[in-house]
Structure 1
Amino acid sequence: MTELQSYGGYYLWNYVPSRAAAVIFILLFLGATAYHIAKIWKLKTYFCICFTIGGIFEVIGYCARGVAHDRTGQIMPYSIQSVFILLGPTLFAASVYMVLGRVIVAVHGERHCPIRVRWLTKLFVVGDVLSFVIQGGAAGMMVSSDMASMGNTLVIVGLFVQITMFGLFIVTAIVFQVRMRRRPTAESFDISLRWEYHIVTLHLVSLLIMVRSLFRVAEFVMGHDGYLLQHEWPLYVCDALLMWLVMVIFGIRYPGEIAGAVGRHERVKMSDMGA
């Protein structure tokens, strides 16, 4: 039976990570990521590349957890799984933010958005990058026993940045949706765009990412001796499963037609300028 090993007298893990659970989610995330790569290739939805990279991060993270099963005293697999699983959802969020801006442009609904469209994606992506940088740096600090406390605090700060930006994003999407229903544009009646269908998709995946982020905040607030870090199942239920569902939902309700509509809109603008 595999036993916990110490790293310089300090135990990185509170349990022996399950190899079987890691392999299951490696396969699930591999399948979802491959599907998204195929979608990007076929539909040229390059704004979804961050989403696919997030899937790759999840695969790498759970590969590291699988390796860590009998190497709990080694710093490398612990560090890799900690960083990549923590940061994957931040990349999902980046693509989610980009989709809203493209939906608004596709239906010519700029006047209904509470934030100027030219700043909309930039604002949320900058917030996402800030969250990514804070969490990435903090995750690296957490593998050091001397800096673990500071790293833990910074991870919580990074997660709060992510939660705040997601809260603002959800409010923005809801306000836009309500205003569009009250005063729809002519383009919004184009059934091929399914703009509200994609807004609902954003609500669904945003909610799942928000729940996961709140779980990670609770995990780090409770600390190394808290229940959530003492047991493995909460990570798989409240993080791995939710993030896989995010990939599945986004894949099934893929915003392919939105990319085409935005492209047509941009070509019309260019032709108008030429005229």
Structure 2
Amino acid sequence: MVSSKSGWIAYTYNPSIAAAVIFVILFAVTTLLHTFHLFRTRTWFFIPLVIGGYFELVGYIGRAMSAQQSPNWTLGPYVIQSTLLLIAPALFAASIYMELGRIVLMVKGEKLALVRVSWMTKIFVAGDVLSFLMQASGAGIMVTGSSSSSSTGQNVIIGGLFVQIIFFGFFLISALVFQRRIRADSAASAVADQYPWRKHMWALHSSSILVLIRSVVRVVEYVQGTYGYVMGHEAFIYVFDGLLMFALMVIFVVVHPSEVNYLLGRGRAVVRMGGLKVEADVMA
């Protein structure tokens, strides 16, 4: 958001309506797929990711609305897209954090975890909530309009993004240490290999890296400020935010954590029997 002597200006360019509509469609498809899988499989710890998908969807709808208004933008659509697209990845992170603890339990690897499983979700989700609240409050401060509040809001957002990066970094280290310990322990490896844990760890690692890249670019964006190169070029919001978060949602459509839940004796999943795919129910 830019404040100038001639009045309030939302963007330093005219947003592309075509790009916004494309991402509305992409997130509509993936979010509806995740919603279907959520209720079909009862993988309730993925509720934050599904909500994040709807935030992305509504955020790009707001961006499409802004594109239609160029150059006479109104505050509403700008606030919708700037706030929801900023905080949606924090919701994705919450589900990612919760899956690691379940994978550890599935392969009976509690003794090999860097962080005690009973504390794992609490620590990472607490950091994620802090990051979410900082980014949301920073976005709220920014849209009040004054230059001083805009600067303060940007600093709060940067702080929230750094919190997200720090916790994701620690999360990745924890996941890598866990995998290394399993490989180094033949008995633990023999137990773990009875379960499809590797593909789920791959999904966690790849999705975490996507969020980290996106968060680093966002930090650069807010450090540079309103007239910086990143904020002044629309391609960055689509290549280093929208596209990366869409890829994350696709990863979890392909490698859905319902399989982990099912093997823990919870919910519902598609399993193979005699080469055929069938649906099975297991109540927690």
Which TM-score applies when normalising by structure 2? 0.88
Tell me the matched-pair count. Answer: 259
- Per-residue CA distance 1:156-194 (angstroms, 9 max, x = gap): 00000000000000000000000011114353131xx31
Question: Which residue number in structure 1 is paired with residue 109 of structure 2?
Answer: 109
Question: Which residue number in structure 1 is paired with residue 234 of structure 2?
Answer: 232
Q: Which amino acid aligns with 1:96?
A: I
Question: Which residue number in structure 1 is paired with residue 42 of structure 2?
Answer: 44
Q: In the TM superposition, what are the counterparts of 1:113-128 in structure 2 within 5 Å?
A: 113-128=113-128
Question: Which residue number in structure 1 is paired with residue 272 of structure 2?
Answer: none
* Separation of aligned partners in 1, 2:83 and 2:91: 13
Structure 2 counterpart of 1:244, from 236, 246, 253: 246
Unaligned 5+ runs, structure 2: 267-284
More displaced 10-residue stretch of structure 1: 59-68 or 246-255: 246-255
Q: In the TM superposition, what are the counterparts of 1:52-71 in structure 2 within 5 Å?
A: 52-71=50-69
* Separation of aligned partners in 1, 2:35 and 2:56: 15
Contact 2:172 2:208 in 1 (8 A): yes
Question: Which residue number in structure 2 is paired with residue 214 of structure 1?
Answer: 216
Contact 1:5 1:73 in 2 (8 A): no
Question: Which residue number in structure 2 is paired with residue 269 of structure 1?
Answer: none
Contact 1:132 1:158 in 2 (8 A): yes
Contact 1:79 1:143 in 2 (8 A): yes
What is the deviation of 1:24? 0.2
* Separation of aligned partners in 2, 1:5 and 1:226: 15
CA 1:241–1:168: 2 relative to 1, 3 Å: same
More displaced 10-residue stretch of structure 1: 42-51 or 115-124: 42-51
- Per-residue CA distance 1:119-150 (angstroms, 9 max, x = gap): 00110001000000000010011112321000
Q: Which amino acid aligns with 1:141?
A: I
Q: In the TM superposition, what are the counterparts of 1:1-275 in structure 2 within 5 Å?
A: 9-71=7-69, 72-146=72-146, 147-183=149-185, 184-185=187-188, 187-190=191-194, 193-263=195-265
Contact 2:3 2:145 in 1 (8 A): no
Q: Which amino acid aligns with 1:177?
A: Q
* Separation of aligned partners in 1, 2:247 and 2:73: 32
Give 4+ residue runs of structure 1 displaced > 3 Å after superposition.
4-8
Greater helix content: 1
* Separation of aligned partners in 2, 1:8 and 1:50: 41
What is the deviation of 1:263? 2.5
Q: Which amino acid aligns with 2:206?
A: L
* Separation of aligned partners in 1, 2:25 and 2:3: 27
What is the deviation of 1:5? 11
Contact 1:107 1:188 in 2 (8 A): yes
CA 1:63–1:195: 2 relative to 1, 3 Å: same
Q: Which amino acid aligns with 1:98?
A: M
SS of the equivalent of 1:10 reads: strand
Contact 2:107 2:197 in 1 (8 A): yes
* Separation of aligned partners in 2, 1:188 and 1:170: 19
Q: Which amino acid aligns with 2:67?
A: H
* Separation of aligned partners in 2, 1:241 and 1:189: 33
Question: Which residue number in structure 2 is paired with residue 270 of structure 1?
Answer: none
Greater strand content: 2
CA 1:15–1:5: 2 relative to 1, 3 Å: farther
Identity of aligned residues (%): 44
Unaligned 5+ runs, structure 1: 265-275
